[in-house]
Amino acid sequence: MHTRLNCLTIVIPLISACSHLSLDPGNASYGLVEDVRSKRSSTWDWIRIELIYDKSVNELTTLRQTTLKRLISQARDYFEDTIKVERVRKLQLWPECAGQMWKKDNKGEVTIVCEKYCRPSCGTATAPMGTAIFTPCSCHHGNCPSDFDDYIGTITHTDFVLFVAIRHGICAKNTLAYAARCSLHPITHRPISGYVNVCPDAFDAMQKNEMSRWLSTIKHELIHAFVFSTSHYRNFIGAKPEVQKTPIPIVPGVIEKFTRTDWEVAQGNIPHDVYMIVTPKVRQEARNHFACPTLEGAEVENQGGSGTRGAHWEKRVFENEAMSGVATQVYAVSRLTLALFEDSGWYQVNYDKAEDMSWGKGLGCDFAKKSCLTWMRSRQDPYPFCTQEFDMRCSEDRKSKVSCNLVSPKFARIPIDYNYNIPSLYTDDNGGRIVALGQEEVADYCPYYRVFGEVAKEATDTRCTYAGNMYYNNYSLEIFSRSARCFSLDGGIKVSKKLKKTTYNHKVGCYETVCKEDRLYVKMQSSKFYPCYYAGQFIHVEKRIPKLGKVTTRIICPPCKDICGEKCAPDKKHNEKIGDYRKISTSLAIFFSFIVLLMFFL
């Protein structure tokens, strides 16, 4: 059986695109269904997903097995609360075959005939003995090596069967998981079964701080099986039959090609092709998101492997959407992806379950339609893109410290379409000019600010909200917790020990916050909370840290609404020095002055 596989890859600090089989989407298997349908209307209701685990899952340790099943269940629960389908009364899946497959249809009674033997499988996952959900199956020469009778039957109260396996399969070095659909509804062509294969090496290496990443990965893979795959587009309700077989298949009415004539690169303006989902709801959501009324649709990925191209949102313009080709920081299943579900014609969606995608929001047509060079060159602050190597700042929601992923390799072969090296654009951390590029191919080599993970035993990253990043008596005095947020620092961090003074060029730090009395309050390690009366106010820090010495810095208060929302008191100028520093009273200062004078005359 031919399928198209889709996968999500992530690697820190280097990221690569998916690499896997890409087969003809026209060769699909069709399950047998009995619809719940009256003569006048169909029955739409929340999708019911049945989970079937391959025996490879049972080979995991008890802890890992529990973790995987919890992740799968959480992902299932999300979709069962988010998408509706035309429900079916019962369904029956085609088995897979070793060798060729034939179908016999005797007055609606379907039997599958396999060249060698019948497999009760979907992709890499095989159903346990007694899972009676498959059509009858026989072998071409009449002698099957094993009895298939225990697998013959139908399943009720289910609209989609999800098979789960954890096998090496086609797992590349940096692949977390991959997925595909298996059987389709014989009339609507909606997927009614599929599988997700978790890559064992990646799952075994999972750290505590990666749970949200893995949940997003599972959801990402299920979306491929449900709807977001080039093998599905021709079956969308608005698809026109003139499918063009190109590296990214063009399906008029669903995915189309457009040429940008003003794509700015180092050599000037050149023509550049982009591919876009142009279905009605997707187009409107893209226009609303960017505030660009002339946008033709939502751009899809044009780079990476065959399972990445055309089956993910373009990372340059949808960086933190869950369906971008690589996962780097936020993984939002946004209104855009839910709109794709609706435009297929197979689903109704609950937009209240959409997650916020801040990337590019309201930035207009220049951001959505033009190269990132146009954006970086024409603005003093190129955010969310960046031009200085290693530069750090706070993320837009202040929940993370983010770093510029600009790199300057010794030997860089940069494609013409993505070479943005105009004079003096890119600099190193000392301000020197460099020839560089963004770290990720699928982001069109545009450099941007992102959360970074540290390859360390502690499994830390740059999220302020992850308590596992916490370490005490560090010179930055940072706090990592669910209520911690990112703040800019004035003048870096100074550490003095005896006669030695060192300044660390830290631009940002994570500190505890609380919103009370209509004001923002901030604290660092071993201190009380201090109020922020106005944006730009300093919280002065001066502390002695064992074995380190005296640490001094100044935390810059952001606008209160950045963290506390709209319920903030008006800014109030405050002349008193606020913070955690050594205070000496006037009387004590006079006493010390007297002692100094006395010692001088003695």
Helix (H, G, I), strand (E, B) or coil at 369: helix
- Element (H or E) spanning 407, and its range? strand 406-407
Q: Residue 573 and residue 58: Cα distance in Å, rounded? A: 63
Phi/psi of residue 505, nearest 5 degrees:
-80, 55
Q: How far apart are CA 251 and CA 254, in angstroms?
A: 5
Q: Are 354 and 333 in contact (CB under 8 A)?
A: yes
Q: Is 224 annotated as a binding residue?
A: yes
Instruction: Note the residue count of the chain.
Output: 602
- Are 108 and 49 in contact, with CB atoms under 8 Å apart? no
Q: What are the CA-CA distances from residue 93 to residues 120, 142, 197 (Å)?
A: 9, 21, 19
DSSP 571: P
Alpha carbon distances (Å) from 440 to 121, 300, 445, 544, 578: 36, 15, 5, 42, 43
Angle formed by the axes of helices 280-290 and 335-343, to 10°? 160
Residue among 256, 224, 223 at smallest CA distance from 239:
256
On whether 312 is known to bind a ligand per the annotation, the reply is yes
Q: Among 580, 573, 574, 565, which Cα is nearest to 520's? A: 565
CA gap 357, 333 in Å, rounded = 8
Q: Are 463 and 207 in contact (CB under 8 A)?
A: no
Cα→Cα distances 312→87, 383, 601, Å: 27, 23, 80
Q: Is 34 a catalytic residue?
A: no
- Say whether 140 counts as a known binding-site residue: no
Instruction: List 404's β-bridge partners, or say none.
Output: 449
Three-class DSSP labels, 348-362: EECHHHCCCCCCCCC
**SS3 assignment, position 317:** coil
- Choose the catalytic residue: 221, 301, 314, 478: 221
CA–CA separation, 548 and 216 (whole Å): 40
**Cα angle at 78 between 158 and 287, to 5 degrees?**
115
What does each C-alpha distance from 121 to 52, 125, 195, 563 come to in angstroms?
10, 6, 9, 50
Query: How do beta strands 183-184 and 109-114 pair?
Result: unpaired
What lies within 8 Å, CB to CB, of 585 at 6+ separation is none
Q: Which residues contribute to the annotated binding site for Zn(2+)? A: 220, 224, 312
Residue ranges for the known binding site are 220, 224, 312
Give the residue numbers marked as catalytic. Answer: 221
